[in-house]
Structure 1
Amino acid sequence: MTAHPVLAVPAPSVEAAATLIFNVGAGGSAHSTPEALVEALHQIGYRPVYRATDSEADLHLALDDVTGPVFVAGGDGTVRAAALYLAGRPDVTLGIIPLGTANNVARTLGIAGDPLEVISSYAGAQAVPFDLGRLTAPWGHDVFLEALGCGLFAEVLAAYDPEQGKSPLRAAGALGAVMRKFTPAPLTLTLDGEVQPPLDSLLLEVMNTPATGPRLPLCSGADPGDGLLNVVWVDAGEGEGLLTYVAALAAGDFAQLPSVTSKPVRSIEIPYYGQPFHVDGEVRPAQPDTYGVVRAEVWEAALQVLVPIGGAP
């Protein structure tokens, strides 16, 4: 992340007020306790107020009037939910303590490891701006931290239904069911106001971070601090098989495939014919016989996030 200015956040000489949000349902929450995290924050000079959340209503109440550092312990879903409340508030700085499974946002910032060690690394951390994507669509207004997309991944996610909980068996079943009937849709994109040639899109993703979903590295060049989004699409006409894509993702070579194109943009318009979309890890279900446009644009420096020493400024 290099385009925006980096602000040094010196370790407080006296205990400074802070807020700790802890999601007890996150994947790694069993390995940490709120009490241990509070004590670790005390050790680096903060006086945290711990606020437990297990619902969106709880989160709204917890973040309604906060200022200063807000440390969020949880996975990408918890980070997303908190970020939606904190976006556009220059008096708040977000610190992520990853407890989830994928932790795409934290990994983008170079934040990984044991939660107590992560907190320790925040001593003398830097605050850096973090862009978001915001959009208008037939279903309403939306914001994403990682990615917005339609096509194969969105269809599989819709069939899988993350609201039912995580299950590798259900995921495999959803992939098989979608692959049996999926037909790539012809799309004519508009990138930064310029209409593109029509394409049969197997997958279309608007990326703000390098990876989304279960750590799918779809765009290694995506940088949430550069004031841009990255549009990635797969042209179904190239005829590459599913195993080719899986192998390329595992090897980190996805962008080098002949069928894959990636372009940096500030805005994109995507034709909408009722197909399902995903917004980060959430599904916007299909709306048959509904037509319109999904328009996404970068929201520059919507958040201020803490990056540990040695992270990814």
Structure 2
Amino acid sequence: MKTIYLIHNPGAGDEANSKESLVKLIEAAGYVCRYTSTDDDNWKDIPPQTDFIVIAGGDGTVKEVVAVLLKKAHPVKRLPVAILPCGTANNIAESLNIKGELIDIIRSWSTPQTTAIDVGEIFDIEQDPGFFIESFGYGLFPYLMMEMKKQGRNDIPEKDQKMKTAQQLMHTISHSYKPHYCELIIDGEDHSGEYLMAEVMNTRFIGPNLFLSPFGHPGDGHFEVVLIPGNDQEKFAAYIDSKLNDAEVVEYTFTTIKAEDVHLKWKGRHVHVDDEQLTLKENTPVHVRIKKNALVFLI
């Protein structure tokens, strides 16, 4: 009988995602479940007799656990990690095609498939965290994060309403946001220009489930650098509009470049690392490179 170490964010999701419900589902599937909460100080102490780790939470919880695992030594570092998506956007799980009812996800572990997961390493910025698992970028998205906080919209408790609110606000600012100049070197080639958004993406989705990297995968050994120049402003707004109206979303494609090593200097101060917005000095040079096969995830 396999032993699972369940790391649970009790603030993510609803009553169906409570400690009691999750443990019951996992044990009913035939596993020994060792539970810990992210509210506990010792959740980072992963027991040696663990077959795989399960993260029950959203993208922020996944990032928090990944940050710990990256500092661990083998063999803990190579323990397979499974996700029970209980957050608002769940962009990491969506990018790995982990979705559906929790019981169905748990049942899928009996015939496990694994994939390597890359992470992005960040150099030259003054603040931590120093790596990302979803995306790093400038422009529309960090500006959206600032406006959500400024307008108090991060406090919306119902996740579908919060998602729709973020999409509505993104639609509004996409019409008024001005392009910024970005000095951009991708794998030694110059792609500098004026952009509404410059995103170095490791997942296929960003922010409020914006599907900007349809051909990417978190374990393919490459970033997808997604660039939206000023002349794509209406096209981007139309994409957001289709999501807001629950229309059949046309697969919009924006300028996308595969990359392993990226140097950026943005004529502005605001940047994001996953779901954290940072303020840098204007034109701060930033170096991003991929760390391949950093972790193992169950899919």
Question: For the superposition of Structure 1 and Structure 2, which TM-score range results when normalised by the shorter chain?
Answer: 0.7 to 0.9
SS in 2 for 1:301: strand
Q: Is the aligned partner of 1:20 residue 2:2?
A: no
Distance 2:272 2:153 in 1: 13
> Given residue 165 of structure 1, which amino acid in structure 2 is its aligned partner?
D
Supply the AA of the counterpart residue of 2:55.
V
Residues 1:52 and 2:26 aligned together: no
- Indicate the residue corresponding to 2:290 in structure 1: 298
1:149-201 deviation line (CA, Å, top 9, x unaligned): 111122111221289434479747855885586321111211112233x3110
Q: Please name the residue that 1:95 is paired with.
A: 82
For 1:30, give the aligned amino acid. E
Compared CA separation, residues 118 and 168, structure 1 to 2 (3 A): closer
Gaps of at least 5 residues in structure 1 are 1-14, 308-313
The CA deviation at 1:62 is 0.6
Counterpart CA distance in 1 for 2:35 and 2:5 is: 6
CA positional deviation for 1:205: 0.9
Count of paired positions: 281
Quote the RMSD (CA, aligned, Å). Answer: 2.7
Give the alignment's TM-score, normalised by structure 1.
0.80
* Match for residue 80 of structure 1 among 35, 40, 63: 63
The change in CA–CA distance for 1:242 and 1:220 in structure 2 (over 3 A counts) is closer
Amino acid across the alignment from 1:206: V
Q: Secondary structure at the match of 2:144?
A: helix
In structure 1, C-alpha distance between the alignment counterparts of 2:33 and 2:287, rounded to whole Å: 39
Q: Secondary structure at the match of 1:21?
A: strand
The percent identity for this pair of structures is 28
Q: What do the CA deviations read for 1:83-120 (whole angstroms, capped 9, x no partner)?
A: 11113653422110111222111122221122222112
The residue number in structure 2 matching 1:9 is none
> 1:136-147 alignment to 2 at 5 Å?
136-141=123-128, 142-147=130-135
1:114-193 matched pairs, under 5 angstroms: 114-141=101-128, 142-161=130-149, 164-166=154-156, 167=162, 171=166, 175=170, 178=173, 182-193=177-188
Partner of 1:206: 200
- Unpaired runs of 5+ residues, structure 2, are 157-161
C-alpha spacing 1:48/1:298, structure 2 compared with 1 (3 Å) = same
SS at match of 1:100: coil
